[in-house]
Amino acid sequence: MERMKGGVTAAHGFEAAGTEANIKYQGRMDMALIYSSAPCTVAGTFTTNVVKAAPVLWDKQIVENSPYAQAVVVNAGIANACTGKQGMDYCAKEAKKAAALLNIPENAVLVGSTGVIGKQLPMDRICAGIEKLAAAKDGSIEAGTTASKAIMTTDTINKEIAVTIELDGKTVTVGGMSKGSGMIHPNMCTMLAYITTDAAISKKMLQEALSTSVVDTFNMISVDGDTSTNDTCLVLANGLAGNEEITAKGEAYDKFLEALNYVNTYLARTMAGDGEGATALFETVVYNADTKQNARTLAKSVICSSLTKAAIYGHDANWGRILCALGYSGVQFDPENVTLYFESKAGKLKIYENGLDVGYSEEEATKILSEPEVTVLVDMNMGDETATAWGCDLTYDYVKINADYRS
């Protein structure tokens, strides 16, 4: 597997665009388009929040019932959530507009929205934006980057990645883009993430690969504990790489899943580090746990702890908060068997073992915790299972951003 430049346009046959439609933001792009020159097999995972935005309901219907998909239209600024029948009608209107301009069926158009909940989309601006996107789309790497920037809300950086693998002597590309900075606490879903690939793969195996991948990637991040109404992850596969279609598990499927995991892990990790107001990526690795699920639960509990996140912001080695978060996770264990470490580019330091503080240097701990990426290592000494979760520190700026989000 090789990393390459680009994102959603890295794979053969994919084009993209971004444009300014003035939906909520002024003076910046807020709409994006992804288009494939060939029909795509599509798979998706969606929010488990009972309150689901209209685009989630629309996309679930497309993924489950349409023979193929060929385009995705995304807007930033307004979420089209809690908008009733009108919200669904607007999804259909978006699809109809895009379909006419791209000369594809309406049920081949997926839609996505992110932003303020409870407001209706300004459809005159949305439709004008779709016209500009259809006219501007192209297959350049730069076009993919533009699209990744256009879906940002409170994100401070765009998020994109692409890799190549070899299948049956053919070069297969997997690329992606995502957005997410706040209201990030996914479960069997993501925030907004769009993955494109030129691999030939059946719908069944594509859905299996995505559903498998999200468990240890997007589902292992949290910024603030809030599961969004709009969380969506879509994978579109147009088959233009020319590999033999993947129809069952085996070597080709494993290679594809590895590439998908790499892309999803990068996007998930980058979203966690770009949490609203964050100054540090906060990673927790739980190892030597008795089961995989317990390792996941323990790791997620630590990165979701507001007290621990605040300690990371303050570069404070308050290990008691970590042990506390492990303790209320619901996993049964003996605290005296746990060993804790802090690690970053500045070094690695053991802080707790055999039920006691090990007498570490506070100065050394502060130095380690002052790096922009900080890891808590948790050795459960119970088995051989491992899981990693990603979050960020909790800062004053998080409160400031979310106290005034609608304006």
Cα separation, 49 vs 228, whole angstroms: 7
Cα separation, 131 vs 101, whole angstroms: 7
The residue from 83, 145, 154, 190 that is catalytic is 190
Residue 193: CB atoms within 10 A of its CB come to 30
Query: In the annotation, is 190 catalytic?
Result: yes
163: helix, coil or strand? strand
User: Three-state SS string across 272-334, please?
Assistant: HHCCCCCCCEEEEEEEEECCHHHHHHHHHHHHHCHHHHHHHHCCCCCHHHHHHHHHCCCCCCC
Q: Which two tokens stand for residue 154?
A: 């409170």
What would the DSSP string read from start to end of 234-271?
EEEE--TT-PPPB-SSSHHHHHHHHHHHHHHHHHHHHH
Q: Which two tokens stand for residue 217?
A: 């990637």
Length of the chain: 407
Cα–Cα distances in angstroms (integers) from residue 353 to residues 316, 375, 390, in the given order: 18, 17, 23
CB 221 within 8 A of CB 268: yes
Q: Which two tokens stand for residue 127?
A: 């439709």
Catalytic annotation, residues? 190
